[in-house]
Structure 1
Amino acid sequence: MLTGDFEAIPETALDWHRAGAGAVLATVIETWGSAPRPVGSQLAISGEGGMAGSVSGGCVEGAVIAEALEALEDGTPRILEFGVSDDDAFAVGLACGGRIRVLVEPVGAALPEDLLADLVAARAARRAVAHVVDTETWDRRLAGPGDPMLGDRIADRMRADKSGFEGAAFLGIHNPPLRMAIVGAVHIAQPLVQMARLAGFAPVLIDPRPAFGAAERFPGETILDDWPDAALAAHGRDARTAVVTLTHDPKLDDPAIVAALDSEVFYLGCLGSTRTHAKRLERLREAGIPDDRIARIHAPVGLDIGARSPAEIAVSILAEIIERLRQG
């Protein structure tokens, strides 16, 4: 299931192609320094004039669409290069112009339907993959972590969410959407869910206590009222998920902590003082959790920025999560 601010551009292109409308997938492969759309951004164009996504702030879209429709007619891929003037750059919010390169691939003729379908399936299953296109031979394939030809380079790119070139091959990184599971619908959780969403995470609250997890306290949020370990199992605990426990109640926090430690979540942070965390460590060791797994816990949760209010604590938590995501 696709969640969060996930742009379903490959999915849209596949649907248009299968419906007989024709489809072209355009991907930013190089751009100027302060571009509104990063490398890897995509635009799907249908033969009937439909559009989804974008490759710039608007200054090159028209030219890309015109070339895409030509590519749909002749069936050949192409790389477009645009010199963006200072005036055009300023119009879309940039300080200066530069250069942008866009890969245009008509689905079916150049980008095989089966490969696009496999990419869509991987995204739906939350499997991190890269669409690898050799821009000299036009060979294409999907590659995942541990790919023998790319080695650690693909893992580094996936961790950084950074599409780009490796030699003549362009790697379009398709990571699963980021998620954040917050255990404990307490005061800190109120600003944290909003900040998480702004940072690109799909947040979910977990709290079996009706008074805490009331919809009135968190309007429009996803709230799971199951016991935390069961809720986390149902929600998913993969390498694109962060878990934060905020209840201060061992009956709720500890099952969530054990469930998170027994998974690939990239971050686990737990609210509480140094003294509270010491008692938490004792309980986990008594439960048989080895020290190397316990060491994954970030506690007291958040970067030490002197935070006091719930909003400031939420800032420190989100900052630590991003630090862990981007720097490992």
Structure 2
Amino acid sequence: MLNDSLLPVSAHAYASACRGASRPACVVRITAVHGSVPRATDASLVVDAQGFGGTIGGGHLELEAIRLAREKLSADASFPADERRFPLGPSLGQCCGGAVELRFSPLADADLPALAALEPPRRAVWLYGAGHVARAIVYALLPLPFEIHWVETRDEMLPEGPFPPHVVLHHTDDAAAEARQAPAGACHLVMTHSHAIDFDIVQAVLARGDAGYCGLIGSATKRTTFERRLAARGIADDRIAAMVCPIGIADLPGKRPEVIAVAVAAQLLGWSLHDR
């Protein structure tokens, strides 16, 4: 089911592939910015004769950087590093108005840690259930900075893959036990085939009190029912109030799985950024 061929390839991932295959490549780094520009100094690009990974903001600037990188590689794979300034005006067909300074250098093993450090850290998302909505959510989260732990009690429901490295499958007979073992600060999305299993998972998450987010798929009526049952089990009022149900930002109406997935991905991304 899952195919990562359409996912953006990061500069670090592409650099690792080039080094693993002994393919010469060029690292393009933004070293300075002036005025209005599409990306800052956290952006990088790795280019070889076959393709590229990462981005410095797209547009004609990126096309010109790729052209120059390949020109350097074709002349000498161990070319001397150099730096160039690019005004983002009419000469590049862009109207940002600022300027960027790019450094071009041959890819070396020593570049890999620095490229990895530019990538945003992945936050742990524990997703319980593998129905239509859950699958749509996995697709929506794939290109975002999350590590997805996909939990399902029914082995036949989880797709065979292939899976990107940041999607981890958990086949289990006890989904609530998985919730109890998840790392502190993780996000939990609960949407199994059973309200009873949903309740056990939510209770386990809220009883811990250290989750960054606890989302439960369902209606306002389901929320009211769960609130009453959780209170009867001794879960504190403030923890119950922190449960998100219904899930997803409210500005996107519709109940199609793909619409819910976009709404949930936006909500999780906002939570992740504000929680840092």
Aligned match of 2:175: 228
Name the SS for the 1:323 alignment partner.
helix
Q: Does 1:270 align with 2:216?
A: yes
Q: Does the 8 Å CA contact 2:36/2:97 hold for their aligned counterparts?
A: no
* Larger proportion of helix: 2
Shift of 1:324: 1.8
2:78 and 2:262 mapped to 1: Cα distance?
A: 47
Aligned match of 1:103: 103
Aligned match of 1:304: 250
Shift of 1:260: 4.8
1:72 and 1:103 mapped to 2: Cα distance?
A: 15
Shift of 1:298: 1.7
Aligned match of 1:139: none
The one of 19, 25, 31 equivalent to 2:27 is 25
- Which gives a bigger RCO, structure 1 or 2 (Cα 8 Å, sep 6+)? 2
The one of 29, 39, 42 equivalent to 1:40 is 42
User: What amino acid sits opposite 2:222 in the alignment?
Assistant: T
Q: Does 1:325 align with 2:265?
A: no
2:44 and 2:202 mapped to 1: Cα distance?
A: 37
Aligned match of 2:201: 256
Are residues 19 and 185 of structure 1, via their aligned partners in 2, closer, same or farther at CA, if it must alter by over 3 Å? closer
The TM-score with structure 1 as length reference comes to 0.55
User: What amino acid sits opposite 1:41 in the alignment?
Assistant: A
Structure 1, unmatched stretches of 5+, are 124-129, 131-172
User: What amino acid sits opposite 1:243 in the alignment?
Assistant: H
2:13 and 2:251 mapped to 1: Cα distance?
A: 42
2:9 and 2:189 mapped to 1: Cα distance?
A: 26
Are residues 266 and 71 of structure 1, via their aligned partners in 2, closer, same or farther at CA, if it must alter by over 3 Å? farther
Q: RMSD of aligned C-alpha atoms?
A: 4.7
User: What amino acid sits opposite 2:90 in the alignment?
Assistant: D
Alignment length (residue pairs): 257
Q: Does 1:192 align with 2:134?
A: no
- 1:12-161 alignment runs, 5 A limit: 13=15, 24-29=26-31, 30=33, 33=36, 35=38, 39-45=41-47, 52-53=52-53, 54-55=55-56, 56=58, 57-66=62-71, 72-74=78-80, 78-86=82-90, 88-89=92-93, 98-105=98-105, 113=110, 116=111, 130=117
1:63 and 1:306 mapped to 2: Cα distance?
A: 43
Q: Does the 8 Å CA contact 1:245/1:269 hold for their aligned counterparts?
A: yes
Residues 203-262 of structure 1: CA deviation (Å, up to 9, x unaligned): 564332467x264xx98787644232455688x6576x6431123745422443356554
Structure 2, unmatched stretches of 5+, are none
- Aligned-residue sequence identity (percent) comes to 18
Shift of 1:58: 0.9
Name the SS for the 1:182 alignment partner.
strand
Shift of 1:60: 2.5
The TM-score with structure 2 as length reference comes to 0.63
1:19 and 1:184 mapped to 2: Cα distance?
A: 38
Name the SS for the 2:45 alignment partner.
strand
Are residues 229 and 81 of structure 1, via their aligned partners in 2, closer, same or farther at CA, if it must alter by over 3 Å? farther
